[in-house]
Structure 1
Amino acid sequence: MLGFDEPEFLSQLASTVALRPRIEEVADRLVDDGFDSLFLVGAGGTYAQMWPYEQFARRTSTLPVRAVIAAELVTTGDAALGERSAAVFTSVSGTTEDSLRAIEYCRSKGVLTIGFTGYPDSPVAQSVDVALVSEPKAWPFDPQMLLFMGRLLARRGEFEGYDRFAGELAGLPGALLEVARHAEPAAAAFAEAHKDTEYHFLVGGGNLWGFTYLYSMCILEEMQWLRTTRVHSAEFFHGSLELLEQDTSVIIFQGEDETRPLTDRAEAFAKRISRDVTVFDTREHALEGISPEFRGLLSPIVLDTVMGRVSKHLERVRGHSLDLRRYYRVMDY
């Protein structure tokens, strides 16, 4: 596979699921100590990656859980933030400045801060109350968040089958390796067909809305300097559909949760207008060892794996490095 380090991929993912015992200790602490609100704090991609877990809690739990933007939290505050709150942060590098300021702000309010990162000596790891460290550069943080939210809700009696689900996650690295292999031909074909496409219209819903936002803003815009529109499939018919034309590249992310019919409806309409609709559907991947009832929870990390292959092929055909930046962490702002 193009630009794919298989041993590193497997090792990094294995290091995330290996955190299960420590993650469960932290989740148990929150329940046992009576914490009554949870904030999932991020910036850019790590903020978007929190949305599926806010949605998970909203669908199944009475626990107040909010996904918040780090910089906005510091600027506006939150009336629910206090000594019975916990805040979770994720940072690949452990150096994200907005997150560091938010950690300091939360700690000033007596909030228990929890950080997932790949570097034990990083500023984020050193600033939070509890640091949970995987291998360097391990991405995405979905395995850790699935274990954390799953255990927390299970302890509250709001997620049946957690132990079985967590046990199955031990096989996730191998399952996702097969996802990457299966996705490779379609990823290469998409990139070849769209090497000169300058604008993409992205649609996703449910627990894939965060990934839709992330891929649009953090990959196509930030890493490839392409213009995009992104819209939640439930909101598709309330404005953005007017941008569709016959040659509009429409990328649809389809998962396996309750919102699938909403994305089906958007797909059906898009295909009536555009001749260039591409659907990336998690149902196309076997996910060996994962029970059917848990597949929907894994849609974000499955799509991240699939679109990682697309990104590498876009990098190749467009001659535009995914590491190239004009402004982000280059200029002061």
Structure 2
Amino acid sequence: MLGFEENEFRTQLASAVALRPRIEQLVDELLAGGVDNVLLVGAGGTYAQMWPYEQLARERSTLPVRSAIAAELVVAGDALLGERTAVVFTSVTGTTEDVLRAIEYVQAAGATTIAFTGYPESPIATAVDHVLVSEPKTWPFDMQLLLFVGRLLDRRGEFAGYASLADELANLPEAMVGVARQAEPMAEAFAEAHRDTDYYFLIGGGPIWAFTYLYSMCILEEMQWLRTTRVHSAEFFHGSLELLEKDTAVLVFQGEDRTRPLTDRAENFVKRISEDVTVFDTRNYVLEGFSPENRALIAPIVLDTVMGRVSKHLERVRDHSLDLRRYYRVLQY
């Protein structure tokens, strides 16, 4: 597979899943200490990656769990923030400046801080109260967030399926290698057909909306300098659909949760307008070792793996490195 370091990929995912005992112990300690609200704080892609777990808690729990943009939190605050707040941060490098400022801000309010990162000596790792370290460059953070939020809800009697999910996550590294292999031919064909496409319209909903936003902003825009429109499938019929034309390249991201019919509805409509609609549906992938209910919960990880293959092939056909930036961490801001 193009640009795919299979052993490294497997090791990274396994290192995140292996944090389960420490995550569970930490959650138990937080609850015993009286934590009664949780903030999930990130910047850019790590902020978007928090949304499915805010939604998971919102659907199942009365515990206040909400996501926040690091920079906005510092200037706008949060009424719940205090000594009974646990704040979770994620950072691949452990150096994101907005996150570092947010850590300082919430600690001044007395909150307990937790970070997931791949670098134990990084500024973020050394600034928080509790750091849980995976292999360097491990991405995404969905595994750790599933375990953290899932354990919280489980201990509160609000997530009966947590033990099953946590057990099945042990199968994730091999399952995702399998997904990458399944996706490779499609990814190559998609990239070849879209080497000259300069505008994409992306649709997703429910817990998949986070990945839709992330892929649009962080990959197609930031890493490939392509123009995009992204729209939540539940909001599809309110505005952005007017941009659709016969030759608009549409990407539909589909999961397996209860919001699926909303994305089905949007998909059915766009296929009436555009002749270039590609559906990336997690149902199309074999996931050995995962039950139907848990497939829905790991759908963002599946899509991240699938679209990782697409990204590598777009990089090749467009001769545009995924590491190339004009402004991000290049100019002062």
Q: TM-score range by the shorter chain?
A: over 0.9
Residue type of the alignment partner of 2:34:
G
The match for 1:102 is 102
The match for 2:244 is 244
The match for 1:122 is 122
Q: Which runs of 5+ in 2 are unaligned?
A: none
What is the Cα deviation at residue 34 of structure 1? 1.9
The match for 1:138 is 138
Residue type of the alignment partner of 1:26:
L
What is the Cα deviation at residue 161 of structure 1? 2.3
Deviates more, 1:293-302 or 1:29-38: 29-38
Aligned partners of 1:175 and 1:102: how far apart in 2? 35
The match for 2:312 is 312
The match for 1:71 is 71
Q: Deviations over 1:273-297 (max 9, x none)?
A: 0000000000001110011111110
Normalising by structure 2, we get a TM-score of 0.99
Moved over 6 A (4+): none
SS at match of 1:170: helix
**CA contact under 8 A between 1:31 and 1:156: conserved in structure 2?**
no
Number of aligned positions between the proteins: 333
Asked if residue 193 in structure 1 is aligned to residue 193 in structure 2, the reply is: yes
SS at match of 1:90: strand
What is the Cα deviation at residue 25 of structure 1? 0.8
Give the alignment of 1:250-269 within 5 angstroms. Answer: 250-269=250-269
SS at match of 2:52: helix
Q: Deviations over 1:42-94 (max 9, x none)?
A: 00000000000000000000001111000000011111111110100000000
**RMSD (CA atoms):** 0.5
Residue type of the alignment partner of 1:331:
L
Aligned partners of 2:291 and 2:312: how far apart in 1? 30
What is the Cα deviation at residue 30 of structure 1? 2.0
Q: Which runs of 5+ in 1 are unaligned?
A: none
The match for 1:282 is 282
Give the alignment of 1:1-333 within 5 angstroms. Answer: 1-333=1-333
What is the Cα deviation at residue 164 of structure 1? 1.8
Residue type of the alignment partner of 1:75:
V
**CA contact under 8 A between 1:54 and 1:66: conserved in structure 2?**
yes
Q: Deviations over 1:8-41 (max 9, x none)?
A: 0000111000000100011111221221110000
Residue type of the alignment partner of 1:8:
E
Aligned partners of 1:98 and 1:104: how far apart in 2? 10
Aligned partners of 1:226 and 1:175: how far apart in 2? 31
